Structure 1
Amino acid sequence: MTVTRPTATLPTGAVPAPRTVAHPVAKNPAPRFRFRTSRPDQLLCGALLMVILIVQGWNITRFPTFSDDEGTYLAQAWSVQQSMGLAHYTYWYDHPPVGWIQIALITWPASLIDPSTMTVATMRYAMLPISGISAVLLFVLARRLSLPRWAAGLGMALFGLSPLSVMLQREIFLDNVAVMWMLLAFCLAASPSRHLWHHFGAGLAAAVGVLSKETMLLVLPALLVTLWRHSHRDTRKYAVTGAVAACGLTGLGYPLYALLNSELFPGNGHVSLIDGIKYQMSRDGSGFILAKGTGSHAVLESWLYYDTVLPLGGLAGAVLLLGVLRWSVTARALAGPALAVATLALVVMRPTGYLPAMYVIQALPFLALIIAGAAASVTHTVLRRRRKADESTGLKATRWGLTLVLAAAAAAYVVPHWYESDRTALTADANAPYRAAAAWMRDAVPDPGGTRALVDDALWLDLVHAGYQPGDGAIWFYKADLDPAVAGTLPRGWRDIDYVVSSPTVRRDAVDLPTVRAALEHSAPVAVFGRGEDRIEIRRIAGGTR
């Protein structure tokens, strides 16, 4: 494209002579990253994806230890598959149901082929596609945030291969599903095409992420920052308005569902969304995260036990990007992820808040992005060329050498720590007691269909597939005290129960559950699997036969 300009000064009576001036923007338009057309990006991303899926999938049924939350979400997904409702017991609006509805869809084909595969161990494999999609989305997001290819690969590797990620992304958690949708929202918000429908799609994806796990609300301001930075100035107000409207209107579907079921407001004889929100907001706090002896500090120690690089390195990078380096190119590009990390970190610093172990899952992709961005920034600073044409070859070699030394030092620190933790994840068998207990309850009890057993949700589906009646025979131990519908089937309390499967979760929570505590006190072990605090006891209740 050329433009014509008249000469600055003209002699009297002279005719202006046009001259052409090359337009620099039109002549050299800035290239835009397109993953679907970039062969090198596809090859690098594909190679890393294979490694991530192998590491996360190897030994997935044996490590880490089954958690009660996994069993809860999978049992609720099973209930959806069986058209029994949104939960295997009364759905009381503890979480939005979109997360386990997606899990139900993912696990549905396998359950059709063999219904007995609907157990925590087998269905952990369903988390691999979610982990893989999330890893690819993180790579694409890194490239759209202007990180170089190698830095995007580094971020993807940090996200997928950190021992903390390997442990948590294997588990059937709603947080993993929500992270996938939120990464999609960020990718759409940072779309190089800047189409309005991309931004509307970002709002829709964000709403699905929040409805998968409500704590994703904390990340929405960071998404808005990313959307603002990457939308065109002329259409920004339409992009932001459309994204906010798409997110808000989709999210309103949840309270609308409660309203149509007459369960929005509290009342006698029914659950309500407002009661569920009140419960979540009023849960007993786990203490200040930096105070030793508190529950929150124990959770922090468990995170750092598996990996210190991702949590601490990412948090330090976020502080630098938002504070000291906020005007740098890298800081502007990573403003959204840095704000997400800062927001999530500030929330856990509350001394009165409750901190679940899976909370860090929401921060993992943003921590990985920040570390990768910091590495790219340092490398660029070391290797950048002077604008002078006479830069010496020796200086270039020195800078390359310094960069390689820094990279080798980082690898020397990270690789040994990650190797040991990932080797444990690939070889340890933490779930042998659960498998043995499930087999005993299946084979040693003469009449499963006429037996009542209190069990945690990690084993609930195992018992259902073994022939125990769901809800009446296999009873999730919480419900014996907290669900009036279940308590009504136990008029004699613990005397109406035959067995209690005493897992670490059952023993820990029995303190606040009178029926469960009495069942443990009036029972004797008939089989014990494992040792120490992780043991599982099959306890027969004296006089418990109906």
Structure 2
Amino acid sequence: MTSTLPAVTGAKVPAQRRPAPTARSTGRTQPPVRLRSSRSDLLLCGVLLVAILVVQGWNITAYPTLSDDEGTYLAQAWAVQEGRGLAHYTYWYDHPPLGWIQIALLTWIPSVLSPDSMTVGAMRVTMLVISGTSAVLVYVLGRRLSLPRWAAGLGMALFGLSPLAVVLSREIFLDNIAVMWLLLAFCLAASPSRHLWHHFGAGLAAAAGVLTKETMLVVLPALFLTMWRHSHRDTRKFALTGAVTACALIGFSYPLFALLKGELLPGGGHVSLLDGIKYQMSRPGSGFILDPDSGSYGVLHSWLYYDRVLPIGGLAGALLLILTWRWSVTARALAGPALAVAILAAVAMRPDGYLPAMYVIGALPFLALVLAGGAASVAHAVLRRWRADGENRAVTAGRYALAAVLALAAGAYVVPHWYDGTRTALTADANKPYRQASDWLGTKVADPEDTRVLVDDALWLDLVHAGYRPGPGAIWFYKADLDPAVTKTMPRGWRDLDYVVASPTVRRDAKDLPNVRAAIEHSTPVATFGTGDDRIEIRQIQAATAGGVR
């Protein structure tokens, strides 16, 4: 984009006057563009948004495999909608409840129109609202950080079309919603208007992101760096003070909520926020990410299985921007996203840290921006050097041809890899065993209302809609051992149950849950769906006296 000068009226410009310096001649970044006032930006962003929504929405209910986390958040959202409190069981302070309250708002309309459709697979469609909004915010942020139009579009495409992003953005994860709020905060922090209320709003949006998923807290230094760079010198202190105050006041509402409920500190007969924090801090680590025998190493390779370009290229782009910060305009403009990537990478590299598979979601938009920014920085440096050389047209044309060849070579490497990863997401049906198990439990069990089934949360709402009692009938398997409100309804332990649905999640975690392990050991499979480690077994408990099969 080139700078424009205001019209001059009432005076003639002297012929000898030199033209006003442009962003290119002074080395400064180009002024940010307002998306709504640029037809070219709106067109490019709109085309990319349609492509992203089509790719992410196609086959969304069938791939990837339903996860217990998705089922938990959706079941908690269902509890909010039904007025049953903040969770479908006793709420304890594992995550702030704002995340699934938002999911409840997103799923409210489809659940009213079709209550039986409030299951994990069907409700994944609502995540397209989140991923589409986040993709647009990535483009807006790129333009506000002075990226050229093509680079902002590249960042948006990397964020929305990477096979890794396609798979993870489909899932009902709190991280996806939290990232949307963080991106909004960055866009407000980089607002070209520099209004104080924009920075105050950035603090509010950041607080919403942290209260959606508390791990977003580590990204706040990068947000405040962005705000520092883009705020007006005269009002910088007020802007930062207002943003930090707004973020802190909203953030402290969570411990205040616990305090008012008498659940801030540990005590007899109730859960507590302090216990929740203690649990999160004491979770067994998954090992060093570069140790081949660690769980973190397996998580890393699960990310790289889908896409190596965005994680590795994004880290390389962040390193390039950090190393060239002193003399690169683009590096200084993208200091915030580069710092976010560095912080998130450092946290992931902790030797004894816990690294969940969805952790990378928080890094995806910043990886995309710094990779696009690194490409823009290299392109700008090369073109500036070529212009400075002042060589003849033939040499210049040859260099442009070389650049085009390099760009095509990069595309030839990326496109096939992305095609393979995305093709799986668009065609595979990983959730057929879950649908078959849901159908069997809904049609083959004689009296669902009086039958007690241990099940993971991916199927919990399916059973509720099939007539099982939510809580004592359809039982989220963790609660059979960990929730006193449930265990007191099982005086004989596993003998008071009728079935256990042994999904991969249930089999994996049963070793730490005595009632669940005993239920599996004292049961026989009556139906099996799928094969291998991904199979789902419906097992009838031998000591059961209630329920039955038609």
Change in 2 beyond 3 A, CA 1:35/1:541: same
Show the counterpart of 2:472: 472
Shift in Å, 1:384: 2.4
Counterpart of 1:56?
56
2:166 counterpart residue number: 166
C-alpha distance in 1, partners of 2:267/2:541? 37
Is the CA contact 1:65–1:430 (under 8 Å) kept in the aligned structure 2? yes
State the alpha-carbon separation in 2 of the partners of residues 421 and 389 from structure 1: 43
**Contact 2:181–2:205 under 8 Å retained in 1:** yes
Equivalent pair of 1:449/1:469 in contact (CA under 8 Å): yes
Match for 2:277: what amino acid? I
Indicate the residue corresponding to 1:448 in structure 2: 448
Are 2:328 and 2:377, in contact at CA under 8 Å, matched by a contact in 1? no
- My pick for the range that moved more, 241-250 or 380-389, is 380-389
Looking at structure 2, the residues matched to 168 and 384 of structure 1 have their Cα atoms a distance apart, in angstroms, of 39
Q: Deviations over 1:468-512 (max 9, x none)?
A: 000010000000000011000000000000000000000000000
Contact 1:382 1:399 (C-alpha < 8 Å) held by counterparts: no
What SS does the corresponding residue of 1:62 show, helix, strand or coil? Answer: coil
Query: 1:261–1:388: structure 2 CA closer, same or farther, 3 Å change rule?
Result: closer
Matches within 5 A, 1:130-145: 130-145=130-145
1:78-129 deviations in Å (ceiling 9; x for gaps): 0000010100001101000111000000000111111111100000000001
2:385 maps to 1:358 = no
Q: How much does 1:173 deviate?
A: 0.1
| 1:398 to partner: Cα distance | 2.1
Q: Are residues 263 and 427 of structure 1, via their aligned partners in 2, closer, same or farther at CA, if it must alter by over 3 Å? A: same
Could you say if the C-alpha distance between residues 543 and 41 of structure 1 is closer, same or farther in structure 2, counting changes exceeding 3 Å? Answer: same
For 1:13, the equivalent position in structure 2 comes to none
Displacement after TM superposition at 1:544 (Å):
1.2
- For the Cα contact (< 8 Å) 2:207–2:248, is it kept in 1? yes
Aligned length: 528
Question: Structure 2: which amino acid aligns with 1:310?
Answer: L
Find the aligned partners of 1:276 and 1:399 in 2 and give their Cα distance.
59
Q: Residues of 1 paired with 2:435 and 2:507: CA distance?
A: 19
Q: Distance in 1 between matches of 2:408 and 2:524?
A: 57
Q: Percent identity?
A: 72
Tell me what 2:460 maps to: 460
Structure 1 partner of 2:220? 220
Deviation at 1:203, TM superposition (A): 0.4
CA distance in 2: counterparts of 1:292 and 1:31, whole angstroms: 47
Corresponding residue for 1:65? 65
Structure 2 alignment gaps of length 5 or more? 1-5, 7-15
Deviation, 1:151, is 0.5
1:357-400 alpha-carbon deviations (Å, 9 max, x no partner): 00000000000001101111122122226666954212321221
Structure 1 441/320 Cα, relative in aligned 2: closer, same or farther at 3 Å?
A: same
Task: Tell me the distance in 1 between the aligned counterparts of 2:283 and 2:347.
Answer: 15
In structure 2, what is the Cα distance between the partners aligned to 1:529 and 1:387?
65
Q: Secondary structure at the match of 2:66?
A: coil
| Equivalent runs, 1:260-339 vs 2, <5 Å | 260-339=260-339
Tell whether the 8 Å contact from 1:502 to 1:539 is kept in structure 2 after alignment. Answer: yes
Distance 2:187 2:440 in 1: 48
Which AA in structure 1 matches 2:141?
A: L
State the distance in 2 between where 1:388 and 1:470 align.
Answer: 72
CA distance in 1, matches of 2:70, 2:263: 26
- Does the aligned pair in 2 maintain the 1:383–1:396 contact within 8 Å? no
Counterpart check, 1:233 vs 2:228: no
d(CA) in 1 for partners of 2:249 and 2:409?
A: 50
Q: Secondary structure of the residue that 1:429 maps to in structure 2?
A: coil
Q: Cα deviation per residue 1:200-245 (whole Å; 9 max; x = unaligned)?
A: 0000000000000000001000001100000011110010001001
Q: What is the CA–CA distance in structure 1 between the aligned matches of 2:76 and 2:20, rounded to whole Å?
A: 59
Distance 1:389 1:363 in 2: 39
CA distance in 1, matches of 2:327, 2:351: 32
Rounded Cα–Cα distance in structure 2 between residues aligned with 1:24 and 1:175: 46
Q: What are the ranges of 5 or more consecutive residues in structure 1 without an aligned counterpart?
A: 2-19
- Find the aligned partners of 2:255 and 2:396 in 1 and give their Cα distance: 61
Q: What is the CA-CA distance between 1:32 and the residue it aligns to? A: 3.9
1:127 and 2:122 are equivalent in the alignment = no
Do 1:61 and 1:121's aligned partners in 2 also have CA atoms closer than 8 Å?
yes
Partners of 1:146 and 1:474 lie apart in 2 by 53
The aligned counterpart of 2:12 is none
TM-score, L = length of structure 1? 0.94
- Match for 1:214: what amino acid? E
- The answer to whether the 8 Å contact 2:264/2:273 transfers is yes
Q: Pairwise mapping of residues 37-186 of structure 1 onto structure 2 (< 5 A)?
A: 37-186=37-186
Take 1:473 and 1:389, find their aligned partners in 2: how far apart are those partners?
Answer: 77
Q: Name the aligned partner's letter for residue 420 of structure 2.
A: E
- Quick one: distance in 1 between partners of 2:58 and 2:523? 38
Aligned to 2:3: none
Partner SS, residue 540 of structure 2: strand
Alignment match, 2:433: 433
Residue 258 of structure 2: aligned partner? 258
For 1:360, the aligned partner's letter is V
- Tell me if the contact between 2:142 and 2:155 (Cα under 8 Å) persists in the aligned partners: yes
**In 1, Cα distance between equivalents of 2:458 and 2:40:** 43
d(CA) in 2 for partners of 1:350 and 1:138?
28
Shift, 1:323, TM fit: 2.9
- Equivalence for 1:502: 502
Structure 1 pair 208–484 and aligned structure 2 pair: CA distance change class (3 A): same
**Which one has the largest radius of gyration?**
1
1:417 & 1:525 partners in 2: Cα distance?
A: 40
Q: In structure 1, how many angstroms separate the alpha carbons of the residues matched to 2:135 and 2:387?
A: 37
Distance in 1 separating the partners of 2:365 and 2:399? 30
Q: Aligned with 2:234: secondary structure?
A: coil
Give the counterpart letter for 1:227 in structure 2.
M
Is contact 2:32-2:146 (8 Å) kept? no
The AA in structure 2 aligned to 1:344 is: L
Task: For 2:345, give the aligned amino acid.
Answer: A
1 CA distance for matches of 2:317 and 2:174? 27
Distance (Å, rounded) in 1 between the aligned partners of 2:390 and 2:444: 84
For residue 9 of structure 1, what is the aligned residue in structure 2?
none
* 1:5 alignment partner in structure 2: none
Q: 1:463 to 1:195 in 2, by over 3 A?
A: same
Deviations 1:140-168 (A, max 9, x none): 00000010001111000000000000000
Give the counterpart letter for 1:331 in structure 2: A
Q: Which moved more, 1:516-525 or 1:406-415?
A: 406-415
Which residue does 2:521 correspond to in 1?
521
Deviation at 1:24, TM superposition (A): 4.9
Contact 1:383–1:399 (8 Å) recurs in 2: no
Which amino acid is 2:496 matched to?
D
* Aligned twin of 2:202: 202
Q: CA RMSD in A?
A: 1.9
Tell me the amino acid that sits aligned with residue 531 of structure 2: R
- The answer for the alignment partner of 1:535 in structure 2 is 535
Cα separation, 2, equivalents of 1:438 and 1:400: 58
Distance 1:221 1:32 in 2: 22
